[in-house]
Structure 1
Amino acid sequence: MVATAERVRPGPFAWLWYAVGGRLPAVHREWVLRDVTASTWLLRHAARSTVLISPLVLVWLLLPAPIGLRLALMLMAALVGYFYSFAYAEESCEHRLHKNGIPRGTGKRIRAEAREVAGHDATVRYLARYRGE
């Protein structure tokens, strides 16, 4: 990863393509890395998952059945979709990075480093506040 590279955000149609699993041009590589390693990576994953789950959920709404049954089916489709999406969130992000030209394991390593720094900072604040160190 080059620290001097500029992060170029994709447009709406490019983002939709990316959300459904498409590869972005190389100019967006730094943005993709940031997308799956930011502190909000799970929220971003949820947004991408919503793009994939929404059509299925909306199909249940159009079925000829009582509204209560259709709403229950929509809820179940969403719950199952999000369950599997979050169960494989890290693997999905690593595959997304690899697809966009970044070596596998990079996202997991960067998120682990960020957690370590955040944990250290929290420990320092705790010690300063409650132990007077």
Structure 2
Amino acid sequence: MLFDLTCRTWVLRHFCRVLVQFLPWWLCLLVPGPWSLRISMVALGYLLGLYFSLSFMEDACERRLVKAGYPAGLNRKIREETPVSARADSAAFYAAFYPPRQDS
């Protein structure tokens, strides 16, 4: 997970994750009523979700990292200090010292 939050495509990965979480919005198409209303509900749900996801993207990634047992601010530190070509190595280095917690 550390690599997912520090790699070059971390924003794209975040949006893909959010789009998968919004799949239940397609159930609004089963609501009785005109098709324009159904499609509008799905579109509005996706647009609002993507807006808030973009607004709180850094915080959401930070929470995911802390929940996995890494220190706060590590993903930003790796992204800012490490060149793109060496980020996988940095993520592996930190993962060796800060292994994820095993909740039992």
**Which structure carries more relative contact order (alpha carbon 8 Å, separation 6+)?**
2
**SS of the counterpart of 1:86?**
helix
Amino acid at match of 2:47: L
1:61 deviates by 1.1
- TM-score relative to the length of structure 2: 0.75
Task: Give the superposed CA RMSD.
Answer: 1.3
Unmatched 5+ stretches in structure 2: 85-104
2:60 pairs with 1:92 = yes
- TM-score relative to the length of structure 1: 0.59
CA distance in 1: counterparts of 2:60 and 2:67, whole angstroms = 10
User: Which residue, 107, 114, 117 being the options, matches 2:75?
Assistant: 107
Deviations 1:45-87 (A, max 9, x none): 01111122111x1121111011111111111100001111111
Deviations 1:7-58 (A, max 9, x none): xxxxxxxxxxxxxxxxxxxxxxxxx100111110011101111122111x11
Equivalent residue number for residue 23 of structure 2? 54
2:7 pairs with 1:34 = no
Equivalent residue number for residue 122 of structure 1? none
**SS of the counterpart of 1:50?**
helix
CA distance in 2: counterparts of 1:74 and 1:92, whole angstroms = 23
- Identity among equivalent pairs (%): 38
Unmatched 5+ stretches in structure 1: 1-31, 119-133
The size of the alignment, in residue pairs, is 84
User: Which residue, 63, 72, 95 being the options, matches 2:31?
Assistant: 63
Rg comparison, structure with higher value: 1
1:113 deviates by 2.1
Task: Spell out structure 1 runs of 4+ moving beyond 2 A.
Answer: none
CA distance in 1: counterparts of 2:30 and 2:79, whole angstroms = 41
